[in-house]
Structures are given as structure tokens and as C-alpha cells.
């Protein structure tokens, strides 16, 4: 198995079962539906299928449903969490990846129901206990959110 497909078997995308094995999140807070590609030590491309049935659309906003920006950042952080778990070989270790800081968040376009939200994240800096990431969310090539964030690896 090549380094490029590490954690992805023969290079196939992660399905929801493999995502749930990497992340502690569950419905309604699991915001990654599929991993398209993962390059350990570098970056991840994941997808969130944004459905009208999402709980947050009931109140954000009635008549004009838009995915909250903070949930776009959470989805990016979860994708980065999968990248960290695979890169640092944390699966089954009892370790969790916790937010420490969110910086330079910019929201460019609204995310509405019925789209596939592309989530791309990568390492800016990687240490044993603290990692910095960049993240970019987009729909059909149009950027919806850009952010830098820091996460800590700690006991669960």
C-alpha cells in the first residue's frame, strides 16, 4: 500500500463506517459523510451532503435555509481530525482531537440544502500534541468558508 492511500485501503474512499471508526462524533454532530482522498502528513478531501432534513435548517433560517458558518468550520475540523487520526496513528488509542483556536475565518458564499459541501483541510504545522490546519469548504468550486485552526491531541 502506498503512503498516498494509507488508511484508505486500496485507495478507495472512506465510507461512513470508516469515518465513524476514526471520529467519536455521531448524529446529529457527525458532519463528514465521505472521504474522497487522504494523503497522510499532508491533506484530506472529504464531503458533507447537505440535506434539507438537517436539524439546524429548522431555525436557520425559516424561508431561507442556510448552513451556519460555525458548522462549516466544525465539518472542516472533523475532516482534519480524520487526517490527524490517520497520520498520527491514533485510531483505537483513546485519544481525541480538540479545538484550541479558530483564526482568520472568512465566509464567502451561503451553503443551502441539496448540495455537496467539499471539505479540504491540511497540516500547517504538526507536533505530537498540537497541530495547526488550514481548511477550505466549497460548493461546485465556489469557496464558502476559509479558516485556520489549531487542535490539541489529548486523552479522551
Q: What is the C-alpha separation between 136 and 117, in angstroms, rounded? A: 10
Q: What is the C-alpha separation between 112 and 8, in angstroms, rounded? A: 30
Residue 138 β-bridge partners = 118, 143
25 counts as catalytic: no
Task: Decide: 8 and 35 in contact? Cβ < 8 Å.
Answer: yes
Question: What does DSSP assign to residue 11?
Answer: T
**Which residue in the list 6, 60, 95, 126 is annotated as catalytic?**
60
Q: What is the C-alpha separation between 134 and 17, in angstroms, rounded? A: 25
Task: Decide: 65 and 110 in contact? Cβ < 8 Å.
Answer: no
Active site residues: 60
Amino acid at each position: 500500500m502506498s503512503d498516498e492511500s494509507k488508511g484508505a485501503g486500496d485507495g478507495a474512499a472512506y465510507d461512513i463506517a470508516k469515518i465513524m471508526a476514526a471520529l467519536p462524533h455521531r448524529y446529529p454532530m457527525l458532519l463528514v459523510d465521505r472521504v474522497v482522498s487522504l494523503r497522510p502528513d499532508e491533506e484530506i478531501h472529504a464531503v458533507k451532503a447537505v440535506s434539507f432534513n438537517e436539524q439546524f435548517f429548522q431555525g436557520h433560517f425559516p424561508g431561507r435555509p442556510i448552513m451556519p458558518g460555525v458548522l462549516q468550520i466544525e465539518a472542516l475540523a472533523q475532516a482534519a481530525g480524520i487526517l490527524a487520526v490517520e497520520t498520527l496513528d491514533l485510531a483505537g488509542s483513546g485519544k481525541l482531537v480538540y479545538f484550541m483556536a479558530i483564526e482568520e475565518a472568512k465566509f464567502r458564499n451561503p451553503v443551502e440544502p441539496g448540495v455537496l459541501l467539499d471539505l479540504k483541510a491540511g497540516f500547517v504545522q504538526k507536533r505530537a500534541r498540537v497541530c495547526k490546519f488550514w481548511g477550505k469548504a466549497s460548493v461546485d468550486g465556489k469557496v464558502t468558508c476559509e479558516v485556520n485552526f489549531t487542535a490539541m491531541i489529548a486523552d479522551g
